[in-house]
Amino acid sequence: MEEIPIKSPEEETSFEIALSSRSGDLIAGMPPDIATCPDCRSELFDPSDRRHRYPFINCTNCGPRFSIIRALPYDRSRTSMASFTLCPPCRTEYENPADRRFDAQPNACPACGPVIKLLTSDGKSVTDTPFETAAELLRNGQILAVKGIGGYHLCCDATSNAAVALLRKRKNRPHKSLAVMFANMEELRHHAEVSAAETEELAGCAAPIVVVRLKPRQNSYDAHEAIPGAHLSQLVSPDTDDIGAFLPYSPVHHLLLSEISPLVMTSGNMAEEPIAKNEDDLKRILGKIADAALIHNREIVRRCDDSVLKIAEGKRLVLRRSRGIVPDHIPLAFEGPSVLACGAEMKNTICITRGDRAFISPHIGDIGDYRSYAFFREMISDFSDLLRVRPEIVAHDAHPDYPSTRYALGLVSARRVAVQHHHAHIASCMAEHGLAGPVIGVALDGTGYGPDGTVWGGEFLVADFKNWRRAAHFRQYPMPGGDLAVLNPIRMALSCLLSDLPPKNQPLIRELLPHLTQEEWNVLPRMIETGFRSPPTSSAGRLFDAAAAMLGIAEPITYEGQAAVRLQTLARRDETSTYPFNIQQDRQPATVSCSETIRAMVSDIRNGVDRRAIAGRFHNTIAEAIARTCSMIRERERLNDVALSGGVFQNEFLLKLSIKFLMRDGFSVYCHHLVPPNDGGISLGQAAVATAMSGKGFGNGRHAS
Ligand code: ZN
Ligand code: ZN
Ligand code: FE
């Protein structure tokens, strides 16, 4: 492996040490982007300050970092600030060890730094009052692109149904929740319940999007219930009473939100494309999605979407690990040659190791889209250059058709390690906790490639980093039309009902699934019966889809997991009963069958039981099935550690129930806090497995408390 030596500790300045102690990232000298600090914020609004209303104010404690670095070591000359020459007052601050801006690489002021302007789609630009004019456009229901830290946002007035509907239409995003930026915590508290842990995350220096619970939807017809001030548009998060909220984290946001707030702020891109970062990208947005753009002349070197997290059971549950967190590394309990792990397909990230440190890239997206695939390739060379490693081993998913797999297979000179998808999920959870295993790994997700040619996704593995075995899985159902079933949950409901109810019940199934067309009735039952274009799947995600479709809340679906989001929203309240289920142990691997669950749900539906109770019982049943299956495996294998991973565990209600039941049964339970349970965490698992397989001193697994 060719490695260029990094800076020795003596070469590091006090600034880097101070900063690194916060980011935990001394070795690579690559700090994450940091939200505007309170000192800069007060100077920003202080009329007597020389940076009053200057949109690029920053200091040693805050400002862009990772997104402006071209190369290491981190120094102004190797950032996109290199083209701006410090004016004498700024240079004095920069060189004075006693100053708050000592060695602050992006230091700038109105005299010497970047400038902002508002650009309209007809080519006019506004430089004297960009924020006031932008706010005026937003108040008129227009869509604004805003160049931020890691890319462009698209924003609109979050209180206007018409504006949110327009943004959704233009961005081709009919239902998936949109993040909302609030001017400050007080305003957010007006709309949502925010816990102490959530407050800490929102106000922290990473400034992620935090998923919080909206207060009961304000009813404008009821004067007593109405909360003073504007209401959020119901179109912001139509599937759930959660909202992705965040606070201004750059001076540009502070200045804009002081004019108008709250604003929908979503990544500036079409559907699955990477977030826009430069003029070329802007051309694809301006005039098509956005009516105007707030732009500036500080180049964004590296795309970095907003990070997204929830607080579950008092701890971080990361859904997207990106700006403000990247490039903090995950320490591995062992080291080996540098590994490049290529991730999966959806929510892709890559991971590169350097010694015993695993560096996960910012969120890349669905690399089935060719622009995102280009970003994936760009990220691999960019990240290797930054870390100054040339990976010797390339880890990839076992799925032969993922673009990431094809990329890895194209690297003929590298040593390649194929990692089964669900093993990678469990390995990522183990790596995060420093567990050596073996553990009982519960990997529940949408779809993953199984070595037996079926579609996996409801898996109970016995695994360490090098070895794994399928100990149990959810019962398989045919998936009529393969991927078509993912966006048509009603197909999975039909599949379950036809499999689990006696044949004479066809009229009843028709009654339960009124949305199925005659054409589908003509074709699907035979496909399900014969298996034609209907691969069997053990996916837990598809089981949630089926349950949601049976309750009539799965039509129409415009993004994967939407049905489960709705089901979770219905379920979240105190419901203690469960449905029956069954674990068949006569064959190995064992089968966890929810056929009885499906039948009991049908009878509840026919008896007019409240859908919220049914959704709650379904969640309880899956969590109970997880605990019971783990107990069955424990008896045979004498293992007590359970690792929970896979996209289904983004459902924090299911996660909470699963942890509760497993702990009740005496297990040590590990779930994700540092990387996402979804496929964004796959690259870390692949990297950990490949490092362990490389055979260089598999180290002491430690057990996290
Ligand atoms: Zn600052
Ligand atoms: Zn200056
Ligand atoms: Fe997965």
The model's pLDDT over 367-409, given as tens digits with 9 standing for 90+, comes to 999 999 999 999 999 999 998 899 999 999 999 999 999 999 9
Q: 34 alpha carbon to ligand 3 midpoint, in Å?
A: 30
How many CA atoms within 13 Å lie on the side-chain side of 335? 5
pLDDT at 1 over 70: no
pLDDT at 581 over 80: yes
pLDDT at 4 over 50: no
Q: Which ligand is nearest to the CA of 94?
A: 2
Q: 301 alpha carbon to ligand 2 midpoint, in Å?
A: 22
pLDDT at 271: 74
* More confident of the two residues 661 and 122: 661
Q: 130 alpha carbon to ligand 2 midpoint, in Å?
A: 21
Are the CB atoms for 463 and 469 separated by under 8 Å? yes
Q: How many helical (H) and strand (E) elements, i.e. helices and strands, does the chain have? A: 21, 27
Are the CB atoms for 486 and 462 separated by under 8 Å? no
Query: What are the residues facing 669 on neighbouring strands?
Result: 642
- What are the b/e assignments for 521-533, b being 16+ CB within 10 Å? eeebbebbeeeee
Q: Which ligand is nearest to the CA of 60?
A: 1
Q: 294 alpha carbon to ligand 1 midpoint, in Å?
A: 22
The model's pLDDT over 414-439, given as tens digits with 9 standing for 90+, comes to 899 999 999 999 999 999 999 999 99
Q: Which ligand is nearest to the CA of 107?
A: 2
Give the whole-number percent of the chain exceeding pLDDT 70: 92
pLDDT at 16: 38
Q: 434 alpha carbon to ligand 3 midpoint, in Å?
A: 21
pLDDT at 705 over 70: no
Q: 382 alpha carbon to ligand 1 midpoint, in Å?
A: 28
The model's pLDDT over 198-251, given as tens digits with 9 standing for 90+, comes to 999 999 999 999 999 999 865 444 444 444 456 899 999 999 999 999 999 999
pLDDT at 14: 36
Round to whole Å and give the CA distance between 86 and 88. Answer: 7
Q: 679 alpha carbon to ligand 3 midpoint, in Å?
A: 5
Q: 36 alpha carbon to ligand 1 midpoint, in Å?
A: 5
Q: 302 alpha carbon to ligand 1 midpoint, in Å?
A: 21
pLDDT at 570 over 80: yes
The model's pLDDT over 92-123, given as tens digits with 9 standing for 90+, comes to 999 999 999 999 999 999 999 999 999 998 88
Residues with a beta carbon under 5 angstroms from ion ligand 2: 87, 90, 109, 111-112
pLDDT at 232: 94
- If one counts every other C-beta atom within 10 angstroms of the C-beta of residue 343, the result is 32
Q: 423 alpha carbon to ligand 3 midpoint, in Å?
A: 10
pLDDT at 277 over 90: yes
Q: Which ligand is nearest to the CA of 43?
A: 1
Q: 101 alpha carbon to ligand 1 midpoint, in Å?
A: 8
Q: 63 alpha carbon to ligand 2 midpoint, in Å?
A: 15
pLDDT at 334: 86
Q: What are the residues whose beta carbons fall under 8 Å from the beta carbon of 401, sequence distance 6 or more?
A: none
pLDDT at 5: 35
Q: 76 alpha carbon to ligand 2 midpoint, in Å?
A: 14
pLDDT at 12 over 80: no
Q: 205 alpha carbon to ligand 2 midpoint, in Å?
A: 24
pLDDT at 464 over 50: yes
Q: Which ligand is nearest to the CA of 88?
A: 2
* Mean of the per-residue pLDDT values of the chain: 91
pLDDT at 703 over 80: no
- If one counts every other C-beta atom within 10 angstroms of the C-beta of residue 514, the result is 9
Q: 484 alpha carbon to ligand 2 midpoint, in Å?
A: 57
Q: Which ligand is nearest to the CA of 37?
A: 1
pLDDT-derived band at 573 (thresholds 50, 70, 90) equals: confident
Q: 110 alpha carbon to ligand 1 midpoint, in Å?
A: 16
The model's pLDDT over 490-501, given as tens digits with 9 standing for 90+, comes to 999 999 999 999
Radius of gyration, CA atoms only, the chain: 26
Q: 40 alpha carbon to ligand 1 midpoint, in Å?
A: 4
Q: 144 alpha carbon to ligand 2 midpoint, in Å?
A: 29
Query: Parallel, antiparallel, or unpaired for β 180-181 and 242-246?
Result: parallel
Q: 272 alpha carbon to ligand 3 midpoint, in Å?
A: 18
pLDDT-derived band at 609 (thresholds 50, 70, 90) equals: very high
Q: 547 alpha carbon to ligand 3 midpoint, in Å?
A: 20
pLDDT at 21 over 60: no
DSSP letter assigned to residue 70: S
DSSP letter assigned to residue 187: H
Distances (CA, A) of 54 to 49, 76, 86, 115, 594: 10, 20, 15, 9, 60
The model's pLDDT over 302-345, given as tens digits with 9 standing for 90+, comes to 999 999 999 999 999 999 999 999 999 999 988 899 999 999 99
Alpha helices by DSSP H, 518-610: 518-530, 540-550, 562-571, 595-606
Whether the bond between 327 and the residue before it is cis, its omega within 30 degrees of 0, is yes
Are the CB atoms for 67 and 302 separated by under 8 Å? yes
Q: Which ligand is nearest to the CA of 455?
A: 3
Q: 348 alpha carbon to ligand 3 midpoint, in Å?
A: 10
Round to whole Å and give the CA distance between 164 and 141. Answer: 8
pLDDT at 25 over 80: no
Residues with a beta carbon under 5 angstroms from ion ligand 1: 37, 40, 59, 61-62
Round to whole Å and give the CA distance between 87 and 93. Answer: 10
pLDDT at 29: 64
Which amino acid belongs to residue 679? D
